[in-house]
Structure 1
Amino acid sequence: MWFDSWSDILRVVSVGSAAYVAVIAILRLTGKRTLAKLNAFDLVVTVAVGSTLATILLNSDVSFAEGVAALALLAALQLVAATMSSRLGVGRSVLTARPTLLVVEGRLLDDAMKAQRVSPDEIRQAIRSSGHGDVSRIAAVTLESDGSLSVIANDKIGDRSALTGVQNTAAATDAQGK
């Protein structure tokens, strides 16, 4: 149907404007982390906030107050989860995946790649995207907890302290000693 009524359009405009202001206020109150792209859990919350906003806008069975309550609940739960994740080691291990080392000193770690379902082509793409053309000159490639690939060249590896907490760092230490 192309058009139902002007009152429906007026409802979308008025409730949509109010919901937009409510989302901005809630996000400002709960901080930058609420919609951060740090891990899969954060992505789920971001999608849920978008879905909730769409429901508020388009579903006349959901009142504005119910929608704002749902948005506030999502933001509050994300705040609790982020606090647990940042302050409790157990909370972080439950809510986020540890980063995993996939390349050490130009050597692709086949077992780690299989476990994380990452192909050699994806690793080479990340290396190219970082401006490098020679895999043998890469000290480390890490699959981060948000799903991105971080590339560290041999001339940028330093003392390897950035690899602290990354799975397979023993492989990096072994490769460094060789």
Structure 2
Amino acid sequence: MEEWFKFSWDAFGAIILTAVGIYIAVIIMTRICGKRSFSKMSSFDFAMTVAVGSIIATTVLSKTVSLTDGIVGIVTVYLLQMGAAFARRNDTVKKVMDNTPLLLMDGETILEENLRKGRVTKSDLRAKLREANVTELSEVRAVIFETTGDISVLHKQHNRPIDDFLLNGVARE
């Protein structure tokens, strides 16, 4: 327990220098690879964000991982992300890598089977409807469980239909 409270100027300096170095490496790689690196558009994007955070923390705080090791890890994860983004241009690869958005409500109708498929509870659905300022189910045009795990609520507006583009690729059943 005493080890937790030990202070060393050497360790302090190493942490500061490593944090600055790995931070610069992340900024450079993000500028090279683009903002998509920190989006959450797919499960791979989420994994990228978690991996980068883990590498940063391990590099900064570990006594056994060098700054060079951390930078190599960061570059590797970014290259994997770029490779995945390139590979996802192929429809077959995209189907394997990406989740499919799932329709949870079609108008006022709650699609119970799709709730089960998505492992979404009615209380989760209710919370998202409230969050979207829905006061009556009749206001709902569609509720979609997105590939990112977010739930989108499309409202009825003057009885206009939803553009087919918005529902393209959404699993209805």
| Shared fold, TM over 0.5 | yes
* TM-score, normalised relative to structure 2: 0.91
Percent identical across equivalent pairs?
30
Is residue 33–residue 82 contact of structure 1 (8 Å, CA) maintained in 2? Answer: no
Matching residue of 1:163:
167
- Equivalent residue pairs, number: 168
> 1:110: how far off?
0.6
Instruction: State the SS of the aligned residue for 1:165.
Output: coil
Q: 1:119 aligns with which of 118, 121, 126?
A: 121
Could you tell me how far apart the structure 1 residues matched to 2:114 and 2:43 are?
A: 19
Q: 1:13 aligns with which of 16, 35, 45?
A: 16
> 1:157: how far off?
4.1
Which deviates more from structure 2 when the two are superposed, residues 52-61 or residues 121-130?
Answer: 121-130
Matches within 5 A, 1:9-88: 9-85=12-88, 87-88=89-90
- What amino acid is aligned across from residue 152 of structure 1 in structure 2? L
Structure 2 unmatched runs, 5+: none
Matching residue of 2:156:
154
> 1:98: how far off?
0.6
Structure 1 unmatched runs, 5+: 172-178
Matching residue of 1:103:
105
Deviation readout 1:57-103 (Å, 9 max, x if unpaired): 11121111111000000000011112222x11122112110100010
Q: Does the alignment pair 1:3 with 2:6?
A: yes
> 1:3: how far off?
2.0
- What amino acid is aligned across from residue 133 of structure 1 in structure 2? T
Displaced runs of 4+ in structure 1, greater than 2 A? 156-161
Could you tell me how far apart the structure 1 residues matched to 2:87 and 2:164 are?
A: 27
